[in-house]
Structure 1
Amino acid sequence: MSLTSHLEELKRKHGDLEREIDQAQASPSVDDLQILKLKRRKLALKDEITKLKVAHTTH
């Protein structure tokens, strides 16, 4: 998998998580811990995207 396609896949997953978080926050049956876990996964993806972009631009 090329770096570009990997970045695009990570961005897609990040967007999917953002939508999932929005839906969870709108649902009274989802607890705060579940939302927190989703937000942490989203942040981890963002960090990975940033690291890959930085690594790519420095080479």
Structure 2
Amino acid sequence: MNDDEPFVSDEVQALRTRLKALRLEHADLDASIDALGHMPIPDQLMIARMKRKKLLLRDEITRIEDRILPDIIA
């Protein structure tokens, strides 16, 4: 636990752990898409599927970030 944060709920800690995993998966997909794009004959269908998965991950990352840091202007 960080000294700057007096108490972090189990839910927030679980969300942060999930967020870290999703960011890693997002970065891995990005690297895979880049590598496939540099192939002599890129598999466009596979690239499209990976990009779609990457967008879904980005949406989930945003949802989790919003739960951890709710909008202050309400």
TM-score (norm 2): 0.71
Runs of 5+ unmatched residues, structure 2: 1-12
Runs of 5+ unmatched residues, structure 1: none
More RCO (CA 8 Å, sep 6+): 1
Identity of aligned residues (%): 36
Larger radius of gyration: 2
Runs of 4 or more above 2 Å deviation: none
> Aligned pairs, how many?
59
Give the whole-Å Cα distance in 2 for the aligned partners of 1:27 and 1:42: 20
Root-mean-square deviation over aligned CA pairs: 1.7
More helix by share: 1
